[in-house]
Chains A and B, each alone.
Chain A
Amino acid sequence: MSTGQQIYFTGVTLAFALAVPAGAVLYFRRVRVPRPPVGTFNGRDIVVMMGFVLALPFVYLALPGGVLPVVLALVFSGGLTVGYQPIVGRTPLRWALILALLGVDLAGHQLLGSDSPVYWSANSAIVGLIVVSATNLNIQGGMRLRHIAWFVLALAVYDLTFATAIPLTQELVEAIQGYPFAPSAGLRIGDHSAVIGMGDLLAYSLYTTGAYKAYGRSGLRLAIVLLAVFGAILPTVAPPVLDALTGHRPDLIPAQVLFGPAAFAGYLALRRRGPERRMVELPALPALA
């Protein structure tokens, strides 16, 4: 990888790692999602979430190649319609926008190829929007920074295990290559490429929005610094640095391995400021739609 490619890789990764959580925080400040009459996020939900994280890659890999993009398209469209109902209240209009976005993604992939900037722009927009809505469904459902800190720590262990001991992550990356609706965001221009996984974006968005909900602007500032350094910069510059130091360049540095412990330490530091804010302590927002 040339210096230019490395700068592009780090810069674009950093941009996505900051932009999507920023969108999630903006959504959190402006929009309130509907919630069920009874129920709030608790520690056992984290266990269930981790169960999904563990099971989903196996499900993806077990699916026949052509089925995976269909499943992902259905998941994406369902996620978008639930998440953006408060913003685009009219159901036909909401579905028209969703189908248009999915259509551009599919057409860009089929007509211009899987490396086309048009495809990656559309796919990144879909993934970003999904992450923003998923983040808010969880955080506005009562998820706390404590839950998120434990979740990202568990993800770090998971990523380390499946990137080193059991090479599932690499298998998954290869499995979804060549299909539309990839669960990742990024941009490829010529031989410059930067792609960041949807799971990583979700972890960053959850942590950032959770920190903002729990401790306001000071929580947000710390979260941004942590995700920029440990979620984007270090994971992308680590391979050439290791290469220079050891002569061996690893194929993949799972971002959560670096971000998880840092995020957990950040939570421990924030916790010293006092109890986390609850949804009831935040200013009420008018309904948008």
Chain B
Amino acid sequence: MLETGVRQVRVAMAMVFGRRMSPRLVERLVDDALATLHEFGSPGDDVEQLVDGPFSDPDERRDLQTRALRRTARRLAGRSAFYRERFAAAGVDPAALTLESLRSIPVTVKDDLVTRAADMMCAAPYISTQTTGTTGTPTRVWLSRYELELWPALIALAMLLRGEVRPGDCMQINVSSRATAAVQEDLEMLRLSNASARVVGQVPPDESIDHLLDRAGGIPTLLGAYPSYLGQLVTAARRRGLGPDDFELRALFVGGEVLSPHLAEAARDTFGVRQIHDTYGVTELLPAGGRSCEGGHLHLDLNMGYAEVERLDADEPAEVGELGTLVVTPFYPYRECMPVLRYDTRDVVRVLPDELDCELAGVPAVSKILGKESRLLRTRDGIVTQRDVVEALDGLPGVEWPVRHQARVSGDGRLHLTVAARGPSPSDVVKAFADRDLDVTAEIVELDEDEARLFHPLRCDLREETFTAAPAPKETV
């Protein structure tokens, strides 16, 4: 117990003073957390403060974040030619940076990472990971050995203390194997948590269902997948007549796309899961990220990064209730190899008031991700987001998830939907949007699988085929 206290103080000091922290030290804290769970079944009092930080006091939050930004900026100025230029052009002294003067530095965009990667390298690279390219040119991000050791330990500690992963769990990983950092991070996190993994990838959904049903080895209790692939799993399981009694799943971890309440509910009903963790993580910003609460907000991790929301039409902060794009600066010492400052994710969110009534109220939040800025639909009724469309379509009667569609704004400013589906009629689509006060026109098209993939590509289309055919679906009673 005394040792644990000393370790916690050492980690806290490294966080406050921005010193590089030993991954071994955090790993030993993970062991302490495991011992605590073994003895007591749950963490002790005030665990939220340990995991989420003392951020309920705005002044304290501001002070900690200013110091974290300064040390991050100082390091960038010293090691990154790209950011040295940025600071010089903006006339900003990194050592005196404030939350206000930060705004005078232009945002970093994806194109900067593609064209100036060499000028952004701040530590010895160890492994490169590439974004999936679902929204444009794939971005290659280099990570250091330190990052790959530190992040899983920090994530394992947080997840164990929040009860999101437990010793003995088995996670079936159904994300694309190209998401190197995410897969590697998950595997290491599970190892540290005394849990196991089934790295399945995005194989045909029926094969994944077979893995979920397999009782040899670790039985999956957790599942990590993109929402579109989850939709395919739900559809496949229902087609085979499977239900909650057939699975041992306890929780789902999804991210990277919009998860609608309808699909979430269907997944709960089909797999019998109690919790669905709708997380936010971007390769360029890891380990800074966010998680959703029961209130439907996205709470960003203030320990590891500073988040701003920029107005869609101007380089200034969005006000409460407005839409804006999420701009994030991950802090040193969590990000060291290819760190970014004010990275504009182009992910659209709505700014929420400071006072929220949810289980994570102490951590500031924005709305869940509403979609990419480039995919906003500016109709005569106002801006329609990807989330608006997905949530409306996922609730259509008789649809199979994921619902493929194309949306465009007609000449008269109305939204026009072309939906690839077999069950619903155009009037069902119009009604679903009318229920959301959106006036749309709609048509239904019937497409085969290959046509549907071309019609509306989703992350579930990053398929991983095997040489041998998938085994025939198991007979179920």
B50 within 8 A of A: yes
Asked if A45 meets B46 with Cβ closer than 8 Å, knowing A38-B36, A40-B36, the reply is no
B38 CB contacts on chain A under 8 angstroms: 40, 278, 280
Q: Are the C-beta atoms of B2 and A142 separated by less than 8 Å?
A: no
A141 CB contacts on chain B under 8 angstroms: 1
Q: How many angstroms from the CA of A160 to the CA of B103 in the assembled complex?
A: 71
A279 CB contacts on chain B under 8 angstroms: 39-41
Q: Are the C-beta atoms of A142 and B40 separated by less than 8 Å?
A: yes
Q: How many angstroms from the CA of A85 to the CA of B32 in the assembled complex?
A: 26
Q: Are the C-beta atoms of B45 and A37 separated by less than 8 Å?
A: yes
Q: Among B3-11, B80-88, B192-200, B272-280, which stretch is in contact with chain A? A: B3-11
Chain A positions 22 through 44: 1 when the CB is less than 8 Å from some CB of chain B, otherwise 0? 00000000000011111111101
Q: How many angstroms from the CA of A123 to the CA of B38 in the assembled complex?
A: 39
B43 within 8 A of A: yes
B46 in complex: contacting residue of A37, A39, A41, A44, CB < 8 Å: A37
* Binding site secondary structure of chain B: helix
Q: How many angstroms from the CA of A40 to the CA of B37 in the assembled complex?
A: 9
Q: Are the C-beta atoms of A38 and B33 separated by less than 8 Å?
A: yes
Q: How many angstroms from the CA of A16 to the CA of B472 in the assembled complex?
A: 74
* Binding site secondary structure of chain A: loop
A36 in complex: contacting residue of B3, B4, B51, CB < 8 Å: B4
Asked if A34 meets B2 with Cβ closer than 8 Å, knowing A142-B40, A280-B40, the reply is no
B3 CB contacts on chain A under 8 angstroms: 42, 44-45
Q: Are the C-beta atoms of B4 and A39 separated by less than 8 Å?
A: yes
Q: How many angstroms from the CA of A274 to the CA of B36 in the assembled complex?
A: 21
B44 within 8 A of A: yes
B47 within 8 A of A: yes
Q: Are the C-beta atoms of A280 and B41 separated by less than 8 Å?
A: yes
A34 CB contacts on chain B under 8 angstroms: 44-45
Q: Are the C-beta atoms of B41 and A39 separated by less than 8 Å?
A: no
B68 CB contacts on chain A under 8 angstroms: none
Q: How many angstroms from the CA of A171 to the CA of B122 in the assembled complex?
A: 63
B43 CB contacts on chain A under 8 angstroms: 37-38
CB distance from B27 to the nearest CB of A (A): 13
Q: How many angstroms from the CA of A38 to the CA of B51 in the assembled complex?
A: 11
Q: How many angstroms from the CA of A38 to the CA of B29 in the assembled complex?
A: 8
Interface residues of B in 202-225 (CB under 8 A from A): none
B234 within 8 A of A: no
Closest to B32 in A: A38
B118 within 8 A of A: no
Q: How many angstroms from the CA of A175 to the CA of B439 in the assembled complex?
A: 90
Asked if A40 meets B45 with Cβ closer than 8 Å, knowing A142-B39, A142-B40, A278-B39, the reply is no
Chain B positions 265 through 309: 1 when the CB is less than 8 Å from some CB of chain A, otherwise 0? 000000000000000000000000000000000000000000000
CB distance from A212 to the nearest CB of B (A): 16
Chain B positions 16 through 32: 1 when the CB is less than 8 Å from some CB of chain A, otherwise 0? 00000000000001001
CB distance from B55 to the nearest CB of A (A): 16
Q: How many angstroms from the CA of A39 to the CA of B42 in the assembled complex?
A: 11
- Sample (6) of A-B pairs whose CB atoms are under 8 Å apart: A36-B45, A37-B46, A38-B36, A42-B1, A44-B2, A279-B40
Known interface pairs A36-B44, A36-B45; 11 further A-B residue pairs with C-beta atoms within 8 A, sorted by A's residue number:
A34-B45, A37-B49, A38-B29, A38-B161, A39-B1, A39-B5, A40-B1, A142-B1, A142-B39, A278-B41, A279-B40
Q: Which B residues are within 8 Å of any A CB, using their own CB?
A: 1-5, 8, 29, 32-33, 35-36, 38-47, 49-51, 161
Which 10 residue pairs spanning A and B have beta carbons closest together?
Answer: A280-B41, A39-B4, A35-B44, A37-B47, A39-B1, A142-B39, A37-B50, A40-B39, A37-B44, A37-B43
